[in-house]
Amino acid sequence: MDANANARGHRRTAAPGDRRTAAFCTIVPPHVLDKLAHADDPALAEPARRTLERDALERTRRRITTVRGVVAAAPPAEPSDQPRRTIYDAQHTTSLPGRKVRGEGDQAGADASVNRAYDGLGATFELFLKAYGRHSIDGSGLPLNASVHYSDDYNNAFWDGEQMVFGDGDGEVFLDFTIPIDVMAHELTHGVTQYTANLEYFGQSGALNESMSDVFGSLVKQHALGHSAEQADWLIGAGLLAERVTGVALRSLKAPGTAYDDDVLGKDPQPGTMDDYVRTSRDNGGVHINSGIPNHAFYLAATALGGNAWERAGQIWYDVLTGGELAFDAQFADFAQLTVAAAQARYGEGEEQAAVREAWAEVGITDLRSRVGAR
């Protein structure tokens, strides 16, 4: 497949913070839950079915909310370098946000899910602030709210446009969704994308939206652990799968398509190159599937440059996401070309630009010319 044929000369851009097209985004793709929902074992099928039904309701609610134009509370005039976190307990209901159980600066309590959510929000805030000078999700100090213990045996986590929500998992296939820090960071990055490029959640632009969350989700984990690009596991959701599942995570940036291969869960369908690009009407045109391609391009660029991936490679990706030139219906080739230009704009014609160009070429996207003069 020729990815370059998808690039167009002029694309539509969305104003930063335009919430009208913001999507309801979950960490577990619907195709995975659908596979589970057809399992012979009711202990596996029933939680998956209930999760799919709940996700459908939340997706509808999100669409209605954005059409009505709900406006978030005004941020402080001078954003603080400290997060403003509030954790709620939904108490196994679907009423949000639930009962407040921990505020900013409060001591840790006995509920491990509450403590992990609090720490994960803080780690995400810290990466964006320290690496990129961004104050919270919207860049202006937006409070970070999260609800844990959502519904019963809920097999997902999501960003609903205003807050994070975590299920406890069914204990059979998925464990508590607050366990992997990159799951929290992934969903919060959907908020960053919402307030910047607001990438349309369909096809290649939707896969880029998912990839941004995987990339920065992985970077938050690496930053929190102090891992270099070489030391990182490059997995999304490690520790989330229950013992009975044959797999290590939900996705792998290093080796897309290898995160799991399980009799019930199925096989990880992600491609790593455009040769295996999946054309499908499911999952909003394969947003969780084809995101493996830009994911792998980032991994290749980051490991080629070495050191801390959130520095040079992460900075380039962040520059494109927030720079104002990334259209909300961008295709892979559009994004790739902008990363080459961003690398040159920030670092000149050196190893950074070469590493980025070579990474995209390796996943099948080539002929990327610098556009610095047009920036």
Q: Which residues are catalytic?
A: 187, 288
Virtual torsion, Cα 183, 215, 366, 258, nearest 10 deg:
-40
Task: Residue 329: name the closest of 193, 194, 191, 201 by CA.
Answer: 201
The angle formed by the CA atoms of residues 289, 292 and 295, to the nearest 5 degrees, is: 145
Helix axes 332-347, 292-305, angle to 10 degrees: 20
Contact of 251 with 240, CB cutoff 8 Å: no
The angle formed by the CA atoms of residues 316, 163 and 90, to the nearest 5 degrees, is: 145
Contact of 224 with 192, CB cutoff 8 Å: no
Contact of 256 with 240, CB cutoff 8 Å: no
Distance, in Å, from the CA atom of 246 to the CA atom of 24, rounded to the nearest integer, reads: 28
| Residue ranges of E strands in the chain | 25-26, 85-89, 99-103, 144-148, 157-159, 164-166, 235-236, 251-252, 261-262, 266-267
Adjacent-strand bridge partners of 146: 87, 164
Q: Where are the alpha helices (DSSP H) in 270-375?
A: 283-286, 292-305, 312-322, 332-347, 351-362
